[in-house]
Amino acid sequence: MNRLLFLLSLGALFAPPPDARPAGRTDTDRPVRETRVGPPRVIGRFPDSAATVATPWQTVNMTFDETLDSASITTQHFSVVKAGGGALQESLHYYEGSGMGGVNIDFTPPLETGASYTVRVSGVRDTSGNAMPDSLPVTWTFSIQAPARVTSVIDPFNAPPFSWKQPMTDRNTTGVDSASFSFMPGHGAPAIQGNPGAAAIAFIWDTSASSWLLRVPLDTLAPQKTLVWQKLGTVLEAYVFGDGGASQFRFGVEDSVDIYPEGRPRNHKVSRWYPLTWVGWRLLEWDLANDTVGVWLGSPTLGGQIRFDSFQLRYLPGKSARRGTVDVDQLQIAKEVIVSVTPPPAGVPVRYGLDQNFPNPFNPSTVFVYRLPADSRVTINVYDVLGRLLATLVEGFVPAGSHAVTWNASSCASGVYFARLVASDPGGGIRYVGTVKVGLMK
């Protein structure tokens, strides 16, 4: 079935003429949905009711159990309101797939950290004219986590060629008749302003096989392999377009690359599976410190330095469509930035310094005080005795003065650790490096 895309600006009461585009989303293997007599129903929503998501770059997605009348996709029928504030400036995008309709709501500017939002949907019609009653709206509330985050893009998928291998060349791919990984111009996630396109994973499953896995690995020599991070305070995320075909999607990473830079099978780790039952875009997030680690080649734990490895899909007999296309956009990590600044004493410090933490030894939290004689770009990292990065306490520009930051080591074992401060001038020149040894006793 063709995918339709409709854009509506704030205040528009009727959709502009449709800009339909063949998208290769046909699937004759799935049963045709029976025509409903009643109004369309919301059968999937994201972020879900009472959910708290990690980052503010969200797109709200709703999947309906049938296709919709595009003229009813208006800001009169879809609204998002910030708690304690008013309605947001939003744009609407409509898609179709697997006999269902999907609507995305995107925002300019993006949502805010620490805020809560309420979504309201009513009056939407299906193609037979059946409408959701205005008197019985569908409403739900979700929240954004409070910590501020900075992003590092692994791959924006803005233009080919990509530094990725084709799935059919990967030895882990099995139960697949055919598959490809390519660039799809003009179909980037609308949440990204001026987005030129996205990556597309097209596939046909071999339904007679006994097991199924499709792996799209990042090339071993890709420059993205040099981007590494630790799990604490880090969220791995990407915009993923679901076609409603009910295949499943997950992220793959390699851990302990600081110890095994060439990689090894037991260090291949994966997220949980995300069922692709929705139609439209969602921002999938994997909180590496707090979310479930799936089961694949290695143990379901993460440690040491981490780098990206692959996208993976699988087929579920009796549930998944035989063929489909899943789009992926803006693969990135979002790192939590915690900068706790105390009022400076009288006068500005005359020299840089990182004081011994207090208390020391400690359990589970301790405070580091540092001094800056000038505005500086500051990084404070905590390492274990093997030199593995465990936490980034400060990362960003900090004004001149005396400051303090707290490290909560509740997830770490008793032992010796090292905190290292690097202060640079705005031009990147290093002005100071200081290290203190700390002891955690539980």
Q: pLDDT, tens digit, for every residue of 65-100?
A: 999 999 999 999 999 999 988 778 899 999 999 999
Q: pLDDT, tens digit, for every residue of 363-393?
A: 888 999 999 999 888 999 999 999 899 989 9
Q: For the residues of 283-321, what is the DSSP string, one character each?
A: EEEEETTTSPB--SSS-S---S-BEEEEEEEE--TTTS-
Residues in the chain predicted with pLDDT less than 50, given as ranges, are: 1-33, 340-344
- Fold of the 150-336 domain: Jelly Rolls (2.60.120)
Q: Are the C-beta atoms of 372 and 403 separated by less than 8 Å?
A: yes
- Which amino acid makes up residue 408? N
- Fold of the 353-440 domain: Immunoglobulin-like (2.60.40)
Of 121, 128, 62, residue with least CA distance to 94 = 62
Q: Are the C-beta atoms of 1 and 98 separated by less than 8 Å?
A: yes
The pair phi, psi for residue 323, each rounded to 5°, is -135, 160
Tokens of 271: 């997220």
Predicted local confidence at residue 293, as pLDDT = 92
Q: The pTM is what?
A: 0.72
The C-alpha angle with vertex 111 and arms to 141 and 61, in degrees rounded to 5, equals 55
Which residues 6+ apart lie within 8 Å of 193 measured at CB? 108
Q: Are the C-beta atoms of 183 and 200 separated by less than 8 Å?
A: yes
Predicted local confidence at residue 141, as pLDDT = 97
Q: Are the C-beta atoms of 36 and 124 separated by less than 8 Å?
A: no
Tokens of 377: 């770009």
Q: pLDDT, tens digit, for every residue of 289-311?
A: 889 999 898 888 888 889 999 99
Predicted local confidence at residue 11, as pLDDT = 34
CATH code matching the domain that covers 3-146, chosen among 3.40.50.2300, 2.60.40.1220, 3.40.640.10, 2.30.30.240: 2.60.40.1220
What residue spans define the domains of the chain? 3-146, 150-336, 353-440
Q: Dmax over Cα atoms in the chain, in whole Å?
A: 77
Given this chain, do its domains 150-336 and 353-440 carry the same CATH topology? no
Q: Are the C-beta atoms of 177 and 129 separated by less than 8 Å?
A: no
